[in-house]
Amino acid sequence: MQDHPGGVQKFIDTKPQRSLFERLSALISPEPENRTELLEILQDAHERNLIDADALSMIEGVFQVSDLSARDIMVPRSQMDVVDLTKPIEEWLPLVLETAHSRFPAIEGNRDKVVGILLAKDLLRYYAEDSFDVRDMLRPAVFIPESKQLNVLLRDFRANRNHMAVVVDEYGGVAGLITIEDVLEQIVGDIEDEYDFDEEEDNILPVKDGIRRHRWRVKALTEIEQFNEKLETRFSDEDVDTIGGLVANHLGRVPRRGDVFDIDNVRFEVLRADARQVHVLLVEKLPEPAAETASRTAS
């Protein structure tokens, strides 16, 4: 506001004026109005080499984290590695050594009764002290609902300096487990450490769950040739080299955790994936159609 002769006050717009070129550019290339348009602009920037593939993938991962909840990426209850405090340490210590996790939910006889979190490093006292009570070593367990959004959970993990949470369902039962690494992998991709194995023999592992079904846990980077040899399948490797590439081609998109689909007589379930690629699959061979079985027998 500025004084003028005669006491008249005039309001002056201090907002910087855009040039004619800027106004024309805005009309030709308007700002994105929703997330889809923004991602399209980012993908176009990648195609023009303005941002690299890793940067684009991480940005897409950030968007995905805001859409996902704990139930989407948690380790299911049946696959949780736990220590049972009702049993002697000698019974579950081999599991700690074999899995090499840094943290374990501690239960009392039942997976619904999680009483705390045991840090593997605290077990060093078991070898150094004459009187050792594992219950004194437990850290408080954090419980979250299945519906908790991952972006909120990540903020809580950082604020509370916590690395693990137990996911519970609407009835209060334990549904699964989630770590800060699980959330971060949705953004930056799979995080491998010195305990992640790359040996070819670990690519396809049989699942022993007491059910009479032929199922395997398969790494997505397993070559199709090795997969065919192990499971006696006939998938082509002309277009893609790996099982991860095969399922991505079949779906026409990046597979998501929880996806279940059949290719020929093989059922695939995505156990682990991030914004860029699938990492681990649960594979089950289904009974072949009678006509196909008869044809093979005849040949």
The string of DSSP letters for 135-153 reads: GGGPBPPPEEETT-BHHHH
Residue 199 has pLDDT above 60, yes or no: no
Instruction: Give the tens place of pLDDT for each residue, 11-66.
Output: 555 545 556 555 544 444 556 677 777 878 888 888 888 888 778 777 877 887 88
Domain 200-290, CATH number (from 3.40.50.150, 3.40.50.11260, 3.10.450.50, 3.30.465.10): 3.30.465.10
C-alpha to C-alpha distances, 100 to 93, 108, 177, 190, 197, nearest whole angstrom = 11, 21, 16, 17, 12
pLDDT at 294: 47
pTM for this structure?
0.58
Q: Which amino acid would we find at residue 19?
A: S
- Cα–Cα dist 111/129, whole Å: 29
pLDDT at 40: 81
Are 278 and 255 a contacting pair, CB within 8 Å?
A: yes
Residue 224 has pLDDT above 60, yes or no: yes
CATH 3.30.465.10 residue window(s) in the chain: 200-290
Q: What are phi and psi for residue 47, nearest 5 degrees?
A: -65, -30
Q: What are phi and psi for residue 57, nearest 5 degrees?
A: -65, -40
Instruction: Give the tens place of pLDDT for each residue, 247-265.
Output: 999 999 888 878 899 999 9
Residue 170 buriedness (CB in 10 A; 0-12 / 13-18 / 19+)? exposed
CATH 3.10.580.10 residue window(s) in the chain: 71-188
Is CATH 3.10.580.10 what the domain over 71-188 is classified as, yes or no? yes
